[in-house]
Structure 1
């Protein structure tokens, strides 16, 4: 096998290697565009919960040399899947045109709803490359439509689980494998369309890869790929060197595991030594009974946090992963042992990224970031379509409304977007409404949901779904007990809530503050049923004590409203610029009363009262110093009962 020269390439070689490096990325990009444009389901076509990658065989195993992500986490887990699968597969018997299917979490997959297709590529008679495409699918069997089987305790109660399985042989579909897949899903036409798209983009990728080999030669392409990995590794190490050496420990918790109604502790210690890092999850709670645990993915997925803070610009490849070792205690929430369920991987993954960000932010204040909402409020739905002309057809759909990102050292957090774990797009409602018996009544920013700070968090969202036919709904949400933490004196973002709305009325139910007639599904409420994360309880006033609900039947004409929390604030809110607070109030993002309570800013009829504001801020600062005031969690103060 030809490897990159040991010495640093000269300027001419480096220029050629960089050309090829970006050529490899372009291959992954074309694959991703092909996948998106030919997929059938909204989860791939619209949301872009998918990624494509190219791996080459090196002395270190299978290393990812290029990827193009729609969903960020796949860019960090793809190399794991390739190594698990290719180490198990019989490469000696592999023929050109073979494609392998796998979705087993204990073989590197994220969860069973994320399927992976791998296409080994023969170069000079030997398998030396593998192309990888992956995406979430709307349904793959199991007890409820769409996965995220909240409330189950084993993988046997989830979707179908496949070890590495031959799906195409010599570019011919393996009929038994396809039959088994399609006869165990509620939406076979949609699944078949997505699988064909995942396969087709691999064919596109192989053609482009062989063109690159033909243009520059095998040895040069492989040397350039090694150069690409080395350049990325050097950049990542340079970023890590800026963090002071030390051990940075963070403790947090998930609300619950969906079965046992008690917090699930999570612990991470980030150890920095020079240009390398160890991320140690020792101390994290034991393997949960519910489905929130993950298998192998936290070994690399948590590295997203490091990349985001210290080296955000260069493309991701295996060099991104090289400087970092991860410790996952077997039998813990971040490394469950079979047959535990892994279907809700989102909550542990989002929280692990939040925690690593918080740990590094404590060491690198100049680049610190407050916590994001920590949940996407993933919603999966399905049922029998009873609209005229579609009676009796099974359907499935998927939504990831997203929440707010945390405030940063540089500015305010982003509002109403998918959490960094995915960073995907949101649904295209016109598509969803045409294909599914639902109407999206609201998808908009929730006022008073962003954590207060010198730089406020991003605002969370309102997502109201109205059913036109009886619909089976799954909601996967966390941060119900309290919202996203702020940093450096910033306040918490709003926590998560949901209500069931019988006989949704477009004239009265569009006001998100109106609670009359609504049935609380989950959230922290006071004794009057008013949302109150600081003083309320998740044990009373709602039908569920968890934000992880599966199998909820929404009758035709009824609706469900989900409020996704905002991001935490950065810095002292009493130091936020008055003009910025005034603008947020005038834009309807903050109410005047919340601005007074959290920022110490007085407005009357939209006009800033500078003297009153100065006096109030001095008063609140004194009360804080005396331990009698703290920044209130973000939440509207004018709920209507």
Structure 2
């Protein structure tokens, strides 16, 4: 038994290391800043010992890809189960074939042993463009899935080790960023080939039967840990609902409802009661919905639990067809990884808050998406997702203030270097700083909000998709909700425009500025229970004003020496508490 456990750790650790090496390979060899700077991709390894693939290892990456990649791998295997050969490499991006939105592409390479496909290294990446009507792929005027961009069903781009150049050329020709895309695809393929070589060495050393046995043990370990967590929650049924502001085509307050049922160590999530699918491009395909649901679950569990199929085994999901959480063809899905993905995770966590309040929090993904495109001096098109404008927004959790520059659903994404960003794009980051009183207050507060200015030096075009304006990021367990996001295009000019819901292809002259006010995250717990010394520290750091310290937290701070007046604070908090109880 001890030897089996040791071998399971060795094999599992090796597969984790392979996934991380794949991630490093993509980062260091890709051309697009989305890869080599922002790290907007995920690498993993799957096994194929049964009818369905199983996630066995995954490198830290873009967290919202966490389980969406599972559906894509399954659809690829289903399409080619009886036509897989050594050297085959598969590709898919179609939201209706296990994808999320068509900007996320998945590449898989089966590794064979004794003529059977055993393990599957995979890369899922957000591409800078995917064809379609608009540069960058986010099309707020999208009316069907074809308006979102090029649909790639399951296909082979390598067959028996030979590159299918005609297929490759077709894909590259249907992309505005072909000068990046070819290199990015090569980086993804190269990572899979490197992993395949490493995995083949392990199969030669241990044999398939022993490898699968150790993988079974590792998955069982993860499942036991997750089941132990769920079993600590009281049995019952818990419901919550939240709303997206709009679908960018006139429909407002799109509901996502989650009903969580805890039965022993089993957890069922039912999205019945969510809004019907909508006209706009926020509909969430099933794989995207399950991914955001599992992201919510994973944030409630200990971070040292290995990420693999064991996370999924205790959890089942119901998402009625024809709803915003499981649309039917040809509903558009281009923005689903932000909206309504954010609401899916939020609704799940709000429901879990009723039975496990100390385990929830931190989710905050209501991005004010504003992407800019243009043409450089060499005639090449460029698309800048303006990542600096999306930073911030992480909420609080039990005993933890919000931290970092990205919310948990994007924690694998790294903030690009400002200097490299200004080399790779004709842009300047003029401002990127915290703002006082711009987050959800609580016993533990959200990450402070940000004031960001991005200037583009050449003629450019910007489209904005607002979120979190009316239905802002929720606080938990009495914590206050986050404030509203705000974006202004052509800031400071006579053509300045404050975007209420969406702005499409706004022309910006050289020197045009986008102004982001990115709200912080939601709070956790009653703000009047926050340690006054922590409030004072926030005041000294510029996160909270003296006025907000009194209004939001009930803490009276003397201006002259910046100290807490304990007597006044206690009297103010007690009187406010009595008033709230009487109300």
TM-score exceeds 0.5: yes
Candidates 467, 476, 479, aligned match of 1:478: 467
Residue 170 of structure 1 deviates from its aligned partner by 3.1
What secondary structure, in the 3-state scheme, does the structure 1 residue paired with 2:68 have? helix
Aligned position for 1:634: none
Greater alpha carbon shift after TM alignment, 284-293 vs 216-225 = 216-225
| 1:330-369 matched pairs, under 5 angstroms | 330-345=321-336, 346-369=338-361
Aligned to 2:186, the other structure's residue is in SS state helix
Specify the SS of the correspondent of 2:506.
strand
Q: Are the counterparts in 2 of residues 473 and 554 from structure 1 also a CA contact under 8 Å?
A: yes
In structure 2, the partner of 1:146 is 136
TM-align CA RMSD: 1.9
SS at match of 1:347: coil
- Residue 204 of structure 1, CA deviation: 0.3
1:168 corresponds to which of 158, 174, 177: 158
> Structure 1 pair 59/372, CA: closer, same or farther in 2 (3 Å)?
closer
Could you give the per-residue CA deviations for residues 520-558 of structure 1, whole angstroms, max 9, x where no partner exists? Answer: 523xxxxxxxxxxxxxxxxxxxxx3x1x44423222122
Q: 1:266 maps to what in 2?
A: 256
Cα distance in 1, alignment partners of residues 282 and 51 from structure 2: 32
Q: Deviations over 1:506-526 (max 9, x none)?
A: xxxxxxxxxxx794523xxxx
Decide whether the 8 Å contact of 2:276 with 2:324 is kept in 1. yes
Provide the rounded CA distance (Å) in 2 between the counterparts of 1:549 and 1:210: 51
State the shift of 1:68 in Å. 1.2
Residue of structure 1 aligned with 2:573, choices 592, 617, 622: 617
Contact 1:71 1:422 (C-alpha < 8 Å) held by counterparts: yes
Instruction: Quote the residue 2:46 is aligned against.
Output: 55
Matches within 5 A, 1:13-162: 13-89=4-80, 91-162=81-152
Equivalent residue number for residue 448 of structure 2: 459
Q: Is 1:427 aligned to 2:416, yes or no?
A: yes
Unaligned runs of 5+ in 1: 1-9, 505-516, 523-543, 628-641
The equivalent residue for 1:398 is 385
Task: Give, in whole Å, the separation in 2 of the partners of 1:203 and 1:374.
Answer: 34
What is the CA distance between 1:135 and its match in structure 2? 0.4
Q: Distance in 2 between matches of 1:277 and 1:289?
A: 32
After superposition, the Cα gap between the structure-2 partners of 1:599 and 1:503, relative to the gap in structure 1 and judged at 3 Å, is closer
- CA deviations on 1:46-65 (whole Å, 9 max, x unpaired) are 21111112111123521111
Stretches of 4+ aligned residues off by more than 4 angstroms: none
Q: Give distance in 2, aligned partners of 1:574 and 1:503.
A: 39
Deviations 1:175-194 (A, max 9, x none): 22122122222211111111
1:261: how far off?
4.0
Partner deviation per Cα, 1:96-137 (whole Å, 9 max, x = no partner): 211111100111111110111111222111222222111001
Alpha-carbon shift at residue 620 of structure 1 (Å): 2.3
Contact 1:230/1:319, CA 8 A, preserved across alignment: yes
Name stretches of at least 5 consecutive residues in structure 2 with no aligned partner: none
Over 3 Å counting, the alpha-carbon distance change for 1:550 and 1:122 in structure 2 is farther
**For each residue in 1:575-606, what CA deviation from the matched residue of structure 2 results, as whole angstroms up to 9, or x when unmatched?**
21111111111111111122121112222243
* Structure 1: distance between partners of 2:573 and 2:199: 62
Structure 2 contact 39–413 (Cα < 8 Å) conserved: yes
Over 3 Å counting, the alpha-carbon distance change for 1:368 and 1:182 in structure 2 is closer
Question: How far, CA to CA, are the matches of 2:253 and 2:412 in structure 1?
Answer: 26
- Give me the whole-angstrom Cα distance separating, in 2, the residues matched to 1:374 and 1:24: 30
Aligned mates of 2:222, 2:113 — CA distance in 1: 25
Deviation at 1:299, TM superposition (A): 2.4
Deviation of 1:228 after TM superposition, in Å, equals 1.4
Deviations 1:592-640 (A, max 9, x none): 122121112222243433333333323322332233xxxxxxxxxxxxx
User: Equivalents in 2 of 1:488, 1:125: separation in Å?
Assistant: 55
| Distance of 2:483 and 2:495 partners within structure 1 | 19
Contact 1:151 1:549 (C-alpha < 8 Å) held by counterparts = no
In structure 2, C-alpha distance between the alignment counterparts of 1:551 and 1:422, rounded to whole Å = 29
Which is further off, 263-272 or 423-432?
423-432
Q: Which residue, 182, 188, 192 being the options, matches 2:182?
A: 192
Which residue in the other structure is 1:626 paired with?
582
- C-alpha displacement of 1:224: 0.9
TM (norm. structure 2) is 0.95
Residues 324-335 of structure 1 aligned to structure 2 (within 5 Å): 324-335=315-326
Quick check: 11-20 or 392-401, which moved more? 392-401
Deviation at 1:74, TM superposition (A): 1.9
Deviation digits for residues 40-90 of structure 1 (CA, Å, limit 9, x no counterpart): 11111121111112111123521111111311122212221111111111x
1:469 matched to 2:423? The reply is no
Summarize the alignment of residues 191-590 of structure 1 with structure 2, pairs less than 5 Å apart: 191-297=181-287, 298-345=289-336, 346-369=338-361, 372-385=363-376, 390=377, 392-400=379-387, 401-420=390-409, 423-502=412-491, 519-522=496-499, 544=500, 546=501, 548-590=502-544
Retained in 2: the 8 A contact 1:64–1:78?
A: no
Contact residue 69 and residue 106 of structure 2 kept, 8 A: no
CA distance in 1 between counterparts of 2:344 and 2:397 reads 18
Seen in structure 2, the aligned counterparts of structure 1 residues 72 and 372 have a Cα distance that, compared at 3 Å, is closer
Q: Which moved more, 1:246-255 or 1:451-460?
A: 451-460
TM-score, length of structure 1 as denominator length: 0.86
Counterpart check, 1:601 vs 2:555: yes
